[in-house]
Chains A and B, each alone.
Chain A
Amino acid sequence: MTELIRKTAAELAAQIHSGEVTAVEVAQAHLDRIAEVDGAVHAFLHVDTEGALAAARAVDEDVAAGRPVASPLAGVPLALKDVLTTRGVPTTVGSRMLEGWLPPYDATVTRRLREAGVVILGKTNMDEFAMGSSTENSAYGPTRNPWDLDRVPGGSGGGSSAALAAFEAPLAIGTDTGGSIRQPGAVTGTVGVKPTYGSVSRYGLVAFSSSLDQAGPCARTVLDAALLHEVIAGHDPLDSTSIDAPVPPVLAAAREGASGDLSGVRVGVVAQFGGEGYQPGVLRSFQNAVEQLRSLGAEVVEVSCPSFDYALPAYYLIAPSEASSNLARFDAMRYGIRVGDDGTHSAEEVMSLTREKGFGPEVKRRIMLGTYALSSGYYDAYYGSAQKVRTLIARDFDAAFATVDVLISPTTPTTAFKIGDRVGDPMAMYKADLCTIPSNLAGNAAMSVPCGQSDEDGLPVGLQIMAPALQDHRMYRVAAAYEVARDAALGGAPILSVPELSGAAR
């Protein structure tokens, strides 16, 4: 029974739909696993045992009655990042500000998951308002990396990536504003996909930076990510920035890629991402991946994207600017905590006191940065210039994709760092997103797929694959082919070498 937790989502779905196991058994196995290891990992902020079992029972009833199941993932458990609203289930966004808030509505992603019969186990930890690269900025304490409990699981979606690596769930949802799906995926040895901006609805995604935020699938295999991608993607009239176009055929591409042939596929290595500041073991793992892609038949060339050097500073103007406005609504008037409402303070004072208490230091830092960047007299120099850089980055992508099908790079310059190491150095922390940010600024698709472990510390390394907007299937094909070759070379999936956590109570 405990082996249920080691299975892929595709395997679990097949067993549930054939009646071999029940969805309730699968859910219970994962709930048991969470009870066993989450004290040490702290991937979850809230476990919805009753909701999960009820959803699982509904799937079992369909199977028992011989009715068609709701989707290919019906009955499979999932860990949902706490940035997506869930009706009647706490949604904190990792912030003290929303402690105790029970949303009156489901995010579109949540609704689609429910309608697909996916069993939502609970809500995962994250950096407060998705601002961070280590999950240390959560108001509810850090999540630990299952590969080494003294290290971070990445961020902001460290709860979702750690839940996968700790076998607490076979599927998870993340959101990626500057790399919050891909970088945690990389440092936990899991797959994380940021779909094309606008292909997954943002309705119900508590906004950090509206023009960059994108929810996406997280899993332990490329196929599982593709299955989940097809459940959550698609046009949503409730999100004006949602693209009204068919979902790219990512599942078919993942299956096609698994045949292991990449003949005719042109792969570009981004020249700007490497060298100084990159951990040598990360670069060596990346080089191995490049060689494997060649051996699969891909044509690999180096491509220069000079504007990518300005992506990080541009991001740290645009994202905080939008955040300063998006987070203005947290004022204690309608929801969330309220501080100082004791009859002696005015509404304005209550707003200030609440924001002082409710937001953590990184959130305040970014609100201040953004407020400054949007101020009259500074707007053109900061926000305006950053938008120009954004255009240049999109042009670099366009030029690159005129000659190659996908671009690749390491997902993040280093392996998982120690908890506490970068807390006092925001710039060092920000650099974790160096390679992931360009795709957020340009809005194209990008993913991270595990590419073995760094030879110097044995920790996972991620291969980032980027594709043009709405060509998400290209990167799935490459990732699936690479996955097969990688596992053949390593003698099995690298995630299976994650240390045993059983009884690892701390």
Chain B
Amino acid sequence: MTAVAEIMDYDDVVARFDPVLGLEVHVELHTNTKMFCSCANVFGGEPNTNVCPTCLGLPGSLPVVNGKAIESAIRIGLALNCEIAEWCRFARKNYFYPDQPKNFQTSQYDEPIAFNGYLDVTLDDGEVVRVEIERAHMEEDTGKSLHVGGATGRIHGAEHSLLDYNRAGVPLIEIVTKTISGTGARAPEVARAYVSTLRELLRALDVSDVRMDQGSLRCDANVSLMPKGASELGTRTETKNVNSLRSVERAVRFEMCRQGAVLVEGGEIVQETRHFEEASGTTRAGRRKETSEDYRYFPEPDLVPVAPSREWVEELRGTLPEPPGERRARIQAEWSLTDAEMRDLVNAGAVGLVAATVDAGATPAEARSWWVSYLTQQANSRGVELAELPIAPAQVARVIVLVNEGALTNKLAREVVNGVLAGEGEPDAVVEARGLKVVSDDSALEAAVDEALAAQPDVAAKIRDGKVAAAGAIVGAVMKATKGQADAKRVRELVISRCS
């Protein structure tokens, strides 16, 4: 018999317990090359093609730090209001796993590059929560393993395992919060808002693709419950495999309900890694941390210490984008948005996209409309995030310009966008290829109008009698005849002028 996890009602949980969170976010930097070698840092690719002696950990190979990665790490640290170490080192984290080429990860331990910072996070109702940052440190990613056969898809019991080292050595920044407490029932929302704000910040810094679906931004959520009035922290679990913003919120909420159920029954929380199951919205037990793992950290002797000069740090501070909170306030004012409109924009992850679209020549209202309505629908139906749609702000701006010029109707514009999303190229190319240009040649339209009037003499008579509203039927017929490629407004004008 398998034990079905008992779940406590959420309101009961927050009535009896205070949730405490700790969030660890791993960000893959999108530097041109890997952390310690000159292999290309690209997602995907044929397995084991972006590899060299260093990232394969071949005997004799040595690491050399990617200066751009250090620069990105410092900029992230500064953007998170951290102190930047004047001197820090890499350390080896020793553990055996086949996708770890050296069987140690070159990371940072007690000397992170950035520490003691914070990020202000705005919740849906406008409340601002300050999340304190413990540290941000540099490390390298592992390869990927695929365990074939066996019941669990894990290494133990697998029939065979396949290893791809393309990702091995990709630069990572791990950002760790201090414990987040006192958020009560809003803990899951705070978790999501934190990751969302962090993602927005990282995107503005242009240091990472921040795609949760591709793993370039990964969140591990540590959750524990403390009985109301208690002062000692409860035992925590660490939930992994949280691959979207929505999942962050769901995973935290589920863990709170699951732990609450265990605790009220007098049970004990097992300190363990848990995996979030997207489909069911639940977490399942993973590796048990029976003894705290001993990684035998020691300073990496193959690398020299990193000692960023204060001049350089200040120079990098000058390259920081506007902080997310200030940026939102400015944009809301500039675009004259209501709080609700702004919130929709933020929740859709569209602030940057709209801004870029405006920069490319669209008005804020048009740009916002496209991104929060039609494109959001498209993203939802594809199950991807808005930023992941294969259309660029500049392309959206071009479509808007074509509509304003009268070259496209709104309906045609959507078809053009569909074409871009389908990979048919730039908007103008789609217009060309699909033959979507508005029919603006009056003689062609006049012919179509005359034909429609002739086909519906009774309607034509009504219009001639001054019943202008009847023109709609003729316009409709013309639009149908021209496959929607006519400008309806112009058609209407023609209909009325032909009947007057």
Contacts and interface: CB of A to CB of B under 8 A. Distances in A.
Specify which of A98, A330, A343, A374 lies most central, judged by the most chain B CB atoms within 10 Å of its CB: A374
Interface stretch (B101-109, B114-122, B175-183): B101-109
Contact of A329 (B101, B163, B297, B301): B101
Interface in A24-43: none
Interface string B323-337: 000000000000000
Interface string A319-338: 00110110011110111000
B102 to A, nearest CB: 5
A93 interface: yes
B296 A375 contact: yes
A379 B91 CA distance: 14
A205 interface: yes
Contacts of B297: 374
Given A210-B301, A346-B158, A374 B94 contact: yes
B146 to A, nearest CB: 11
B62 A329 contact: no
B57 A334 contact: yes
B47 interface: no
Interface in B140-179: 155-159, 161, 163
Interface string A76-93: 000000001100000101
A418 B294 CA distance: 42
Contacts of A322: 298, 301
B103 A347 contact: no
Identify which of A85, A325, A331 gathers the most chain B CB atoms within 10 Å of its CB.
A325
A272 interface: no
Contacts of A210: 301-302
Interface in A380-410: 383
Given A240-B303, A328-B104, A334 B94 contact: no
B270 interface: no
Interface size class of B (residues with CB under 8 A): 20 to 34
B155 A383 contact: no
A501 to B, nearest CB: 32
Contacts of B59: 85, 91, 93, 98, 101, 103, 206-207, 329-330, 335
Interface in B349-363: none
A399 B111 CA distance: 31
Nearest to B163: A333
Given A346-B157, A348-B155, A239 B298 contact: no
Interface string A216-253: 00000000000000000000011111000000000000
B60 A85 contact: yes
A345 to B, nearest CB: 11
A203 B58 contact: no
Contacts of B63: 240
Given A105-B53, A333-B98, A203 B62 contact: yes
A204 interface: yes
A232 to B, nearest CB: 15
B88 interface: no
Interface core residue of B57, B101, B296 (most chain A CB under 10 Å): B296
Contact of A202 (B62, B96, B296): B62
B296 A348 contact: no
Given A104-B58, A335-B59, A376-B294, A348 B302 contact: no
Contacts of A211: 301
A351 interface: yes
Contacts of A331: 96, 98, 103
B98 A203 contact: no
Given A240-B303, A325-B92, A334 B58 contact: yes
A107 interface: yes
A343 B104 CA distance: 26
Contacts of A238: 62, 64
B94 A347 contact: no
A105 B55 CA distance: 13
A295 B304 CA distance: 44
B60 A379 contact: no
Nearest to A93: B59
Contact of A240 (B62, B104, B155): B62
Contact of B61 (A203, A330, A351): A203
B60 A84 contact: yes
Interface in B18-73: 53, 56-65
A8 to B, nearest CB: 30
Contacts of A343: 159
Interface of A: 84-85, 91, 93, 98, 101, 103-105, 107, 202-207, 209-211, 237-241, 321-322, 324-325, 328-331, 333-335, 343, 346-348, 351, 371, 374-376, 379, 383
Interface of B: 53, 56-65, 92, 94, 96, 98, 101-104, 155-159, 161, 163, 294, 296-298, 301-304
15 contacts: A93-B59, A104-B53, A203-B61, A207-B59, A207-B302, A238-B62, A325-B92, A325-B296, A329-B101, A329-B102, A331-B96, A333-B163, A334-B58, A347-B158, A379-B298
